[in-house]
Amino acid sequence: MTAVGSKCKVCKGPAVIGLRRHHAHFCAEHLQQLCRRQMAKAIEDFDMLSFDDRILVAVSGGKDSLAVWDMLIEAGYQADGLYVGLGIGEYSDSSGGYVRRFADERGLNLQTVDLRDDYGFDIPTASKATKRVPCSACGLSKRRVFDKAALDGRYDVLVTGHNLDDEAAVLYGNTLRWDIDYLARQLPVLPATNGFPKKVKPLIRLTEREMAAWCLVRGIDYIVEECPIAAGNKHLVYKQSLNVIDESSPGAKAAFYLGFLDRMAPILQGRSAAATGQLHDCERCGSPTTSTVCAFCMLIERSAEHDPVPVDMVLPKRARKEIS
Ligand code: AMP
Ligand code: FES
Ligand code: ZN
Ligand code: ZN
């Protein structure tokens, strides 16, 4: 990441990072200034947060969510953390450790939910029991646990650490499938509605690389390993494809996603299932759903009937071979 011999665009001091999208290098101080400004612009443009809000930040132990928690606290917001133990073997044990240390060292308030202890299942088991790919069972479970924790704790808003690379990759996938419902919902702010808290993504203008640099210059220790069962999933392939494009046309990734928000999202407004009134209450938990029983209640039911599945059973084939 160091930009040996290069000078900061702002102060001409030694640079720590070169950002081709901005045609410039930055020192540690001015990299932080850039990150603060980009987050502030996202918050302001989309009316994400106010200083009176009680904020709950979903923190995974990875660089993005720890960075956004750090940035919000530094900017003067009132933000507690939420960690969800997903039961993905050593990966979950280790990521939980990073979150707890971050919170303890700074005296921040951290809430934890453990899927096995609190809901009676874990991600490997849910994946097998529902025949969903692990990331789909995981995404569904996380969203619902986040919603419940934010509502139960009477928070005004839930923050996630999704960054520009994440959002561009999701947009790429949704566009390849022309999934209008998902495209219409792919917004950096989802307002509070019956049964859902307000949800926001303050890092949409910042890349993975910038967030890694933020953590480095701020001394934030985070889990570097990726989730073992996510290896090789489509989301990562979309990210790599966009990186190849961005390498030859710097800024193309940001233009793709930010251009979507600016010019396409307004056209799709009102086209999602929620907006067209196709949702009703789940007969078990009351959450909004398009079916009689929501996908999360089905997942809980099927997983509870299933014997616990060890994480090795859901590793992608290549990772399993390497272990054996
Ligand atoms: P991912 O779905 O893993 O790309 O993560 C997206 C965002 O969800 C992260 O930036 C966090 O804000 C949040 N998140 C992911 N995993 C967890 C977890 N185990 N506990 C709490 N928040 C999480
Ligand atoms: Fe969800 Fe890996 S963190 S499948
Ligand atoms: Zn500088
Ligand atoms: Zn339900």
| 3-state class (DSSP) for residue 56 | strand
Mean pLDDT along residues 198-212? 97
Of 113-127, 227-241, 253-267, the one with minimum mean pLDDT is 227-241
User: Could you give the count of Cα atoms lying within 13 Å of 234 in the half-sphere of its Cβ?
Assistant: 11
The verdict on residue 242 lying in a domain is yes
The pLDDT of residue 272 is: 77
| Contact yes or no for 168/256 (Cβ under 8 A) | yes
The pLDDT of residue 317 is: 65
Number of structural domains the chain divides into:
1
Condensed to tens digits (0 to 9), the pLDDT of residues 158-173 reads: 999 999 999 999 999 9
The verdict on residue 108 lying in a domain is yes
- Classify residue 200 as exposed, middle or buried by CB count within 10 Å of its CB (0-12, 13-18, 19+): buried
Helix then strand then coil, % of the chain, to nearest 5: 50, 10, 35
Mean pLDDT along residues 101-115? 98
Among candidate residues 207, 161, 209, 208, the one with its CA nearest the CA of residue 17: 209
Among candidate residues 167, 195, 197, the one with its CA nearest the CA of residue 260: 167
Q: What is the pTM of this model?
A: 0.94
Range of the domain at 60: 40-277
Residue 242 has pLDDT above 60, yes or no: yes
Condensed to tens digits (0 to 9), the pLDDT of residues 267-297 reads: 999 887 666 677 888 999 888 888 999 999 9
Report how far residue 173's alpha carbon sits from residue 183's, in angstroms, rounded to the nearest whole number: 10
The verdict on residue 6 lying in a domain is no
The pLDDT of residue 318 is: 56
The verdict on residue 240 lying in a domain is yes
More confident call, 323 vs 69: 69
Give distance in angstroms: CA of 132 to centre of ligand 2.
Answer: 12
The pLDDT of residue 4 is: 65
The verdict on residue 282 lying in a domain is no
Give distance in angstroms: CA of 140 to centre of ligand 4.
Answer: 12
The verdict on residue 189 lying in a domain is yes
Residue 320 has pLDDT above 80, yes or no: no
Q: CB of 79 closer than 6 A to ligand 2? A: no
The pLDDT of residue 287 is: 84
Q: Which residues make Cβ contacts (< 8 Å) with residue 135, sequence separation at least 6? A: 229, 230, 233, 235
Q: What is the CATH number of the domain that holds 210?
A: 3.40.50.620
- Which residue's CA is the nearest one to ligand 1's atom 12? 160
Q: Which atom of ligand 2 is nearest to the CA of 135?
A: 4
Of 33-37, 187-191, 270-274, 312-316, the one with minimum mean pLDDT is 270-274
319 — pLDDT class (breaks 50, 70, 90)? low
Mutation test residue for ligand 1: of 91, 102, 160, the one with most atoms within 8 Å of CB: 160
Give residues whose Cβ lies within 5 Å of ion ligand 3.
Answer: 8, 10-11, 13, 27, 30
Cα–Cα distances in Å, from 188 out to 153, 260, 270?
A: 22, 11, 16
Q: Which residues make Cβ contacts (< 8 Å) with residue 250, sequence separation at least 6? A: 20, 21, 23
The pLDDT of residue 3 is: 64
Q: Which contiguous run of DSSP H or E holds residue 199?
A: strand 198-200
The verdict on residue 159 lying in a domain is yes
Q: Which residues make Cβ contacts (< 8 Å) with residue 143, sequence separation at least 6? A: none
Mean pLDDT score of the chain: 92
* Helix 63-75 vs helix 208-218: crossing angle, to nearest 10: 60
How big is the chain, counted in residues? 324
Token digits of residue 134 = 């692990």
Give distance in angstroms: CA of 81 to centre of ligand 1.
Answer: 11
Report how far residue 171's alpha carbon sits from residue 195's, in angstroms, rounded to the nearest whole number: 25
Residue 323 has pLDDT above 60, yes or no: no
Give distance in angstroms: CA of 32 to centre of ligand 3.
Answer: 10
The verdict on residue 2 lying in a domain is no
